[in-house]
């Protein structure tokens, strides 16, 4: 007889947000062919931070970025990621030349039982697995280190960290499985600069601009010169200046209220019971209020709109075993949890 099914917080979060999306991902094992760009960039930064916090070797980090973007000469998106990741990690290394914490573990995985808090009994159907970005020590206290990339950090963003129940639940599992008492979470937030590399003017654009300037000039002439594309070096310099600004990196420490452990355990248990019921009845209903939750269509929108058409599946999706976050660092992006 097979044992309990491995689950992750992402699965339970998705089940809570839209059961249909959970069915597409975790029962049918479908993912869109085109990976969300925010997730790819977040994974790259996760990997860089792991290398940096393990060895504090900036050339090794930059080499990793070079190797992760092999087609940057031809591919604009890779080129953008390469520039941003390079400048971000150089800025990060300059901002934190030393740390107040000592690294205990990086990219640590755990697996633990899901417990019914009312009876203390463990689920026979599911276990929960996860991975934390880091465990660090300050004095005699341990903290989870959680990396985030963000478009901007403001009061709302920091306020929303309170709703990041995933990491609090993980703290509970780390305590139980690794035997460390976790005092709190250190959020390590890196801001994505919005600067764009100047692409210059085409010959036609330049001629049009010069014609307009000349038309407005009393002499009927213009001394305008064609704007050339910004060189990689010049763009890196602009990015470096941006990443020297204090607001581009932020650390926020939240202490865990231990009452939250019991509440999250109870919630997780309820989700397992609801999932078992949905699976038994084959009733994974749609939550259409969630289709545009992140101000863009849900990854399964074409599939739901087509009523689950096999053609849509064939053209837009592929099968990938679930729980990718246990295999790569794809959890650094901005999408809020629960």
Residues that bind ligand SF4 (CB under 6 A): 18, 20-21, 286-288, 290-291, 298, 300-301, 304
Nearest to 47 by CA among 62, 32, 31: 62
In angstroms, give the least distance from the CB of 5 to ligand SF4. 21
How many residues does this entry show for the chain?
A: 338
Q: Assess contact for 46 and 67: CB atoms under 8 A.
A: no
Q: How far apart are CA 295 and CA 301, in angstroms?
A: 13
Are 317 and 33 contacting, i.e. CB atoms less than 8 angstroms apart? yes
Select 84 or 303, whichever has its Cβ closest to ligand SF4. Answer: 303
DSSP for 1-70, written as a single string: ---PEEEEHHHHHHHHH-HHHHIIIIIS-EEESSPPHHHHHHHHHHHHHHHHHHH--HHHHHHHHHHH-T
Nearer to ligand SF4, 28 or 251 (CB): 28
DSSP 151: S
Nearer to ligand SF4, 79 or 287 (CB): 287
CB half-sphere exposure, 318, CA atoms < 13 A: 4
**CA-CA distance, 47 to 45, in Å (whole number)?**
5
Residue 275, class by beta-carbon neighbours within 10 Å (0-12 exposed, 13-18 middle, 19+ buried)?
buried
Report which DSSP code applies to 140: T
Does residue 314 contact residue 300 with C-beta atoms inside 8 Å? no
Q: How far is the CB of 215 from ligand SF4 (least distance, A)?
A: 51
Q: And the tokens for 122?
A: 């463990």
Shortest Cβ 286–ligand SF4 spacing (Å): 4
Instruction: Choose between 11 and 89: whose C-beta lies nearer to ligand SF4.
Output: 11
Complex with ligand SF4: residue 138 or 291, whichever CB lies closer: 291
Nearer of residues 217 and 288 to ligand SF4, judged by Cβ: 288
Of 35 and 226, the one with the shorter C-beta distance to ligand SF4 is 35
As measured in angstroms, the least distance from the Cβ of 163 to ligand SF4 is 19
**Least CB distance from residue 254 to ligand SF4, whole Å?**
29
In a 10 Å sphere around its CB, with 0-12 CB exposed, 13-18 middle and 19+ buried, how is residue 281 labelled?
exposed
Cα separation, 165 vs 259, in Å, equals: 12
Between residues 152 and 309, which has the closer beta carbon with respect to ligand SF4?
309
- Smallest distance, ligand SF4 to C-beta of residue 32, A: 11
Nearest distance from C-beta of residue 11 to ligand SF4, angstroms: 14
Inter-residue contact 230 to 200 (CB < 8 Å): yes
The least CB distance from residue 21 to ligand SF4, in Å, is: 4
């Amino acid at each position: 007889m097979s044992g309990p099914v491995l689950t992750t917080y992402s699965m339970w979060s998705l089940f809570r947000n839209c059961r249909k999306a959970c069915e597409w991902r975790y029962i049918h094992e479908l993912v869109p062919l085109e990976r969300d760009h925010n997730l790819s960039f977040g994974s790259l930064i996760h990997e860089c931070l792991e290398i940096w916090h393990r060895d504090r070797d900036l050339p090794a980090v930059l080499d990793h970025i070079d190797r992760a973007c092999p087609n940057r000469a031809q591919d604009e998106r890779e080129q953008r990621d390469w520039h941003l990741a390079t400048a971000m990690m150089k800025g990060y290394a300059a901002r934190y030349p030393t740390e107040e914490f000592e690294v205990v573990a990086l990219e640590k995985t755990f697996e633990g039982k899901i417990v019914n808090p009312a009876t203390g009994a463990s689920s026979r159907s599911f276990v929960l697995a996860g991975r934390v970005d880091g465990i660090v020590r300050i004095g005699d206290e341990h903290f989870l280190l959680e990396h985030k990339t963000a478009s901007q950090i403001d009061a709302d963003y920091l306020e929303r960290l309170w709703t990041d129940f995933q990491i609090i639940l993980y703290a509970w599992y780390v305590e139980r499985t690794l035997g460390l008492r976790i005092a709190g979470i250190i959020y390590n937030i890196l801001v994505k600069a919005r600067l764009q590399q100047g692409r210059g003017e085409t010959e036609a654009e330049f001629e049009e601009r010069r014609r307009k300037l000349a038309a407005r000039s009393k002499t009927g002439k213009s001394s305008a010169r064609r704007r050339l594309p910004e060189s990689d070096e010049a763009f890196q310099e602009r990015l470096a200046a941006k990443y020297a600004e204090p607001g581009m990196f932020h650390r926020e420490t939240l202490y865990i209220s231990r009452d939250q452990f019991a509440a999250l355990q109870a919630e997780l248990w309820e989700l397992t019971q609801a999932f078992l019921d949905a699976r038994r009845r084959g009733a994974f209903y749609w939550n259409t209020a969630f289709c545009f939750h992140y101000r863009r269509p849900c990854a399964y929108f074409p599939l739901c709109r087509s009523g689950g058409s096999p053609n849509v599946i064939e053209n837009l999706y592929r099968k990938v075993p679930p729980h990718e976050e246990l295999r790569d660092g794809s959890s650094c992006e901005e999408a809020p949890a629960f």
